[in-house]
Amino acid sequence: MKRKLLYLLFLFITSFINCQNTFVPDDNFEKALIDLGVDDVLDNYVLTSNINNITYLNVFDKNISDLTGIKDFISLKELSIHFNNLKTVDLSKNTSLTYLQASGNELLTIDVSKNIHLETLVIRTNKINRIDLSNNKKLKELYIYGNQLTNLDVSQNKSLEFLWCSSNNLSSLNVQNGNNENFTRFDTRNNPNLNCVAVDNIDYSTSNWMDIDPHTSFGRACNTLNSDNYELNKFSIYPIPSTGIITIELLQDAKYKVTNIKGQILMNGNLTIGNNTLELKSFTKGVYFITLINSNTFQSKKLIIN
């Protein structure tokens, strides 16, 4: 009986001690915490009371592969874990995060659905192929270039004003968040399959968002599975730059308008299936925009007159 009581006491003490410690199995992560002065011995454990009030943590470029233990940093507001070897990361307990920098890892996906206070998300140059940002209503800045995304929807992120998603595999992008005119940066370059971006205002985006590929245009119904939309999206304009005469090749009839960078309409009319020629010789040298319109959608492209 005495031995049994001693054994139970031992289990209780061990359990009590473990409840006060956080398990950190990655030695490089623990070494980084030791360097920051929140731990002292490399033994796979960190005193929980040393970390649960920390609001800022920077462990960038520490060769960390496993971030187990991060859940007990419950007060974190800013976390920098970029240039490590992370393939997964669980931040579901770090609900106070407003800033996350996780670039240059090997992440395939990342769940930020619990991080509802997140304002800045920097996850460039990973291998991310999908992400759900619908819960991140306060998100203002998204750096997600150099990944493997095919679809991105930020229409629920009403505060978003900075989007850098170049060098992905995007074929679908929805930025109809009602805040497009407050964007300070919009970059979708090097997305060879991105023909159309769904936006708030086609004329505004066409006039102000220049960091797009030549084949990318702006519309209101890019993702509608409608043959008319598809055919309108496939129009061709050449040559660009032009000396004043352009050819527009269409798969369906459409209306058109040509605007300057201020959005002022300089020319409009109707186009038919096949090749159409427009003479713009009276235009001064510069950048203009042509928008094609049918009953279902709009598509715009940039014109350069030399």
Q: What is the pLDDT along the chain (306 residues), one digit of tens a residue?
A: 545 444 444 444 444 444 599 999 999 999 999 999 999 999 999 999 999 999 999 999 999 999 999 999 999 999 999 999 999 999 999 999 999 999 999 999 999 999 999 999 999 999 999 999 999 999 999 999 999 999 999 999 999 999 999 999 999 999 999 999 999 999 999 999 898 899 999 889 988 999 998 778 888 777 543 334 445 556 788 888 889 899 988 888 888 888 887 778 899 999 998 899 999 889 999 888 888 877 656 677 788 888
Looking at the structure, give the CATH architecture of the domain made up of residues 2-224.
Alpha-Beta Horseshoe (3.80)
Sort 155 into a burial class: Cβ within 10 Å, 0-12 / 13-18 / 19+.
middle
Dist. CA 188–CA 242, nearest whole Å: 24
Asked if the domains 2-224 and 225-306 are classified in one and the same CATH topology, the answer is no
pTM: 0.75
Backbone phi, psi, residue 69, to 5°: 110, -20
Backbone phi, psi, residue 12, to 5°: -65, -45
* Every domain of the chain and the residues it spans: 2-224, 225-306
Q: What is the CATH number of domain 225-306?
A: 2.60.40.3080
Contact 89, 110 (CB under 8 A): yes
Sort 229 into a burial class: Cβ within 10 Å, 0-12 / 13-18 / 19+.
buried
Q: How far from 30 is each of 19, 26, 54, 70, CA to CA, in Å?
A: 18, 6, 15, 11
